[in-house]
Structure 1
Amino acid sequence: MPRARWTDEQLQGIRESYPTEEPVEAIAARLNMKVEAVVNAARTLGVRRPTGLKPSRTKWLLTEDQKRDLLAAYGTDEPVAEIAARLGVPDYVVRTHAQEAGVRRPASAPSD
């Protein structure tokens, strides 16, 4: 299977965001890329993370407002992908936070 090509917008996003303290997972979610693809693209571009930051798998920290929004939305029919995109996190972060809080999806929610 051929490798997907990076768009100019994705490459520019990596050039601008990767050298910051923004979590790599947030960069990947915003650019619609896998974390590993962001790290590989950054390496290819010669872009580095700030000293002391690991290239991937940082802990997701949400503000209390984000957590409230996430949990309220998770209990509705809103697709998980839309909740995640609005918060700038991957889908699994939404599911994990909801599971830890004991919030369930309604039966009418789309399967994600």
Structure 2
Amino acid sequence: MTDLIVSLTTAASLGIAGVILAAVAYRGQRETLLRNLWVGLRTAALMESDDAWVAGHRAAARYLCIAGAGLIVSAVASVFLTEAAVAVVALAGCAWVLAWVFIASRVAARAAERG
């Protein structure tokens, strides 16, 4: 029973985070993600202007989508695993998202600087 609770709560957390990242990517690609202090990539280059924000998020959308997809895959996998394996999958999902968000931030900053 404990394995099931751990699996489901981990899957829910990872899945929600993955969907949020995918939604940010989608809105960034469609240029509907307004500059704010809560959601999106917030580097110095992106926060300089609305144009930099839009250009950066449009350029980073693909990478943010990959990050979100990795979390969603981790969420689905965690439903079928034991408690120990869920921890490994969750950590792998977190490492995956960190790597891709870092890449997305670099791509976004370069695009924002180019204008």
TM-score by length of 1: 0.22
TM-score by length of 2: 0.22
Q: Which has the higher contact order (CA 8 A, sep 6+)?
A: 2
